[in-house]
Amino acid sequence: QSASAQISLSLNIGSQPEWGPVGYNHADYYYMPDIDTYYDVPAHQYVYLENNRWIRRASLPSRYSNYNVYNGYKVVVNERNPWTRDNVYRTKYANYKGRSGQTIIRDSRDV
């Protein structure tokens, strides 16, 4: 008898923005509790609620002009369309609002 194993490794380090959190070889989305917004890493788009609809855009709307993506806390979410369960993420990460000090890719000492 022979055994075979298939290993699948997905890295998207190069596609993550420099303001993303360190320590993740792969990230599909970042959830930003401060503004209840998601960032689609592969598509380079923000996903946010506007008029009761989830909108995808390359930049944040003007109402978030004071939000600094470099300083705000980001949670890596590897789930398809996480905003469909936004109530779960909003509740689970409510304590992360206003939190800072997360090391980001830009400031990493890793090679």
> How much is the pTM?
0.84
Q: How far apart are CA 44 and CA 51, in angstroms?
A: 22
* Per-10-residue mean pLDDT, the chain, length 111: 52 76 92 97 97 97 95 95 96 94 82 61
pLDDT value at residue 40: 97
Cα-only R_g, the chain: 16
H helical segments located in the chain: 86-92
Paired strand residues for 31: 38, 75
